[in-house]
Amino acid sequence: MGNRILTFIEDPETNSNTPLTPPWFNVIISVKVTTDDLTSPVVGDTVTFSIIVVTGTLIKPMLVTFGSPITAKTDTNGKAWILFTRPSTGSDDTVVRAQIPGTTNGDAARIVYWTDVTP
């Protein structure tokens, strides 16, 4: 019971067939946190984002904070977001995890696919 991560998206969306390619280096990673009713947004909840496989950088918007893990607070719509910056060389994928405290449904992960190969 408790709050839960309703959505966990990346913009632009990546997959193994359409990885993040030059000249793009950043993906917006966002979550929406709701109560158990799945419609009421949770305001001011702390979401912890971390990289759990491979490499990359997480950047907190509007601040000069780099590294992993990093936290962001949900806004009035229950959304929290950060930027993922892919490494400048190589091709791989990175698993980004989002967690909210004190809940059994507050953990989610996404894979960001990236490459330095221009299509």
Q: CATH code at 50?
A: 2.60.40.10
For residues 58 and 98, the answer to whether their CB atoms sit within 8 Å is no
The residue-averaged pLDDT of 9-21 equals 95
pLDDT tens, position by position, 51-76: 876 666 655 543 334 456 889 999 99
* Terminal Cα distance for the chain, rounded: 45
Q: What is the pLDDT of residue 105?
A: 65
Higher pLDDT, 37 or 79: 79
User: CA-CA distances (angstroms) from residue 7 to 16, 23, 49?
Assistant: 21, 27, 14
Which is more confident, 58 or 38?
Answer: 38
pTM of the model: 0.84
pLDDT value for 68: 62
| Of residues 68 and 112, more confidently modeled | 112
Q: Which of 15-19, 63-67, 82-86, 100-104 has the lowest mean pLDDT?
A: 63-67
Instruction: Print the domain residue range for 78.
Output: 4-115
User: Which tokens sit at 16?
Assistant: 């193994």
CB 117 within 8 A of CB 72: no
Q: How many angstroms separate the CA atoms of 72 and 50, rounded? A: 11
What is the signed CA dihedral for 35, 37, 39, 43, rounded to 10 degrees? -20
Number of domains observed in the structure of the chain: 1
Please give the mean pLDDT across all residues of the chain: 84
